[in-house]
Structure formats: structure tokens, C-alpha cells
Amino acid sequence: MFLADVIGTVVAPVQHPSLEGRTQLLLRPLSPTGEAAGKTRVAIDHVGAGVGDRVIVIDEGNSGRQLLGGAELPIKTIVVGIVDAIEHLGKVVYDHRAHPPLERRS
């Protein structure tokens, strides 16, 4: 599992049939304190996340297929939670109320 910020959506008019009707999100992986931590990824949304949300991501195919109910699904990375707050080493390092979604930041 890892943390990430949702930085966009992906529209793929031609895709595997099992992905039809599923939202695909563009993610920026993060460290617990919010620094960039890895390459940008695309994930299937399972919780209704959107641009600007900080999310919890599973990046392991078997777990993703179990969540979506199909052993043959070509899925590896899935958003499974929207983060309200993160406490790290006794300090709150992220609180969604203090971080407006990206499209509302000036």
C-alpha cells in the first residue's frame, strides 16, 4: 500500500472490457509527510475519489482482483481509501481540511 495525491483522471476510449464504467485516476505517490515518492501511476478508483484527494492505494494485482470480484481482471493498482488525516511521529502532517483540492488552490 502507499499514499498518493490524485492529480488527474484518465480517459481511454479503447480499453479492456473489464475497465468499462470504471474511473481511472492519475496518481502522484507520496511519503507519509507528503513529499513525492515514486513515479506517477494510473489506478482504478474504488471509493469515489477525485482530483485533489489524498488516497490510500493498493498496488498488488491479487488484492485488486479480489476487491473487484474477478480472477481474470487485468488490474493491479486500486484506490481503496480517501485520507482525512495523517499522524506521523506524533505530529499531524496532513489534514484534508487544511489542504483544499488542487483545482481550488490559488
Which one has a higher pLDDT value, 29 or 62?
29
pLDDT for the residue 40? 96
Beta carbons within 8 Å of 41's beta carbon, 6+ residues apart: 4, 26, 27, 29, 57, 59, 77
- Tally of domains within the chain: 1
10 Å Cβ neighbour count for 90? 5
CA distance 12 to 35: 29
Q: What is the domain extent for residue 62?
A: 2-101
> Mean per-residue pLDDT for 90-104?
76
Q: Residue 32 belongs to a domain with what CATH number?
A: 2.40.50.220
Residue 104: pLDDT above 60? no
CA distance 93 to 106: 21
pLDDT-derived band of residue 105, with 50, 70 and 90 as boundaries? very low
The answer to whether 6 and 50 have CB atoms below 8 angstroms apart is yes
